[in-house]
Amino acid sequence: MSDFLVSRATKEKLEEELKQLKIVKRPLIAKALEEARAHGDLKENAEYDAAKQEQGLLESRIREIGDKLARVRILEDENITGEHVSIGCMVTVKDLKTKQEEKYRIVGEEEADFAQNKISLRTPIAKGMIGKKVGEKVDITVPAGLLQYQILKIEVAAD
């Protein structure tokens, strides 16, 4: 299994979610199941079916978070120098075709949010830029075609 790379804040968010699911949500679903069982015949009991389905989804999410936390590796800002593109950096690039500048923050999978220009290190764009330095040109193949960027600036991104 590979490391699950996240910021300290994301790790803490996952730990809090796991705690809420186990301490708050799990007992609520158990109570809903108990009440649904009390209504009698389970074959035609929609409340029971819904509670069982919710329980299954809850336990699946608990396992998923537990797995991620077991593999977590926290990205420490002091390990990110800004000398080359790496996870945790904010990268300003110039699209050599459109001449427009774009900014991307390279993050772990859990933190990716394209609307905020946070891209997962597993995306083709991030993979194409990892290890590159300011001034370098990169060709990146994406499903829509070929992107050609020049790296203009690398910053250590602040959370």
Last residue of a domain, one of 74, 94, 119: 74
Structural domains in the chain (count): 2
The domain spanning residue 64 has which CATH number? 1.10.287.180
In degrees and rounded to multiples of 5, residue 14 shows phi and psi of -65, -40
69-72 long-range contacts, CB within 8 A, separation 24+: 69/4, 69/11, 69/14, 69/15, 69/18, 71/1, 71/2, 71/3, 71/4, 72/3, 72/4, 72/6, 72/11, 72/14
Do 98 and 132 lie in one domain? The reply is yes
User: pLDDT band at 158, cuts 50/70/90?
Assistant: low
Same domain, 96 and 134: yes
Reported as a single tens digit per residue, the pLDDT across 72-112 is: 887 665 456 678 888 888 999 999 999 999 999 988 887 88
Burial class of 92 by CB neighbour count within 10 A (0 to 12, 13 to 18, 19+): middle
Read off the pLDDT of residues 22-50 as tens digits, 9 standing for 90 and up. 999 999 999 988 888 887 776 777 888 88
Q: What percent of the chain has pLDDT over 90?
A: 52
Q: Give the range among 30-44, 61-75, 124-138 with minimum mean pLDDT.
A: 30-44
Is residue 159 pLDDT above 60, yes or no? no
Please report the pLDDT score of residue 78 as a whole number. Answer: 47
